[in-house]
Amino acid sequence: METDLAEFEGKNPNDRLVMHVLYGLHTLAWFSGGVFAVIAVIVNYIRRADESDALYIDHHNYMIRTFWWTLGWLVLLSPLWLLLFLPGLAAYGIVWLWYLYRCVRGWMRFNSHRPT
């Protein structure tokens, strides 16, 4: 019986770098009008499909959930912009702070080799 050594192969530094880049893209998404987040979530889906390490899968799922929850909240709160400018600005500001918190929290936990 032959053992598949690829199954026991550890993570290489490139995998870790990709995760840091993805967290960076998500964190800077607001400065790109969300373009960085869209790029990052697409890469999250692609990388997660081929991932076998539970920690990496957890962090991909975390970033994907953060993206979709943020988008959902932005769509749900968008009518506030029609009512008055200030409520829309306040609501989007709160969503931005929550998104930033999720990105920084996840990134710090990943850097410490901990699950989300």
How many domains is the chain built from? 1
pLDDT at 8 over 60: no
Please compute the mean of the pLDDT values over residues 16-24 and round it to a whole number.
97
Contact residues for 44 (Cβ-Cβ < 8 A; gap 6+): 22, 60, 63, 64, 67
Angle between helices 13-27 and 35-49 in degrees, nearest 10: 150
Identify the domain containing residue 66 by its residue range: 14-111
Residue 8 lies in a domain: no
Within a domain: residue 49?
yes
Answer whether residue 3 is part of any domain: no
pLDDT value of position 18: 96
pLDDT, tens digit (0-9, with 9 covering 90-100), for 76-110 = 999 988 877 788 899 999 999 999 999 999 999 99
Instruction: Output the pLDDT for position 5.
Output: 42
Averaged pLDDT, 25-34:
94
DSSP 34: T
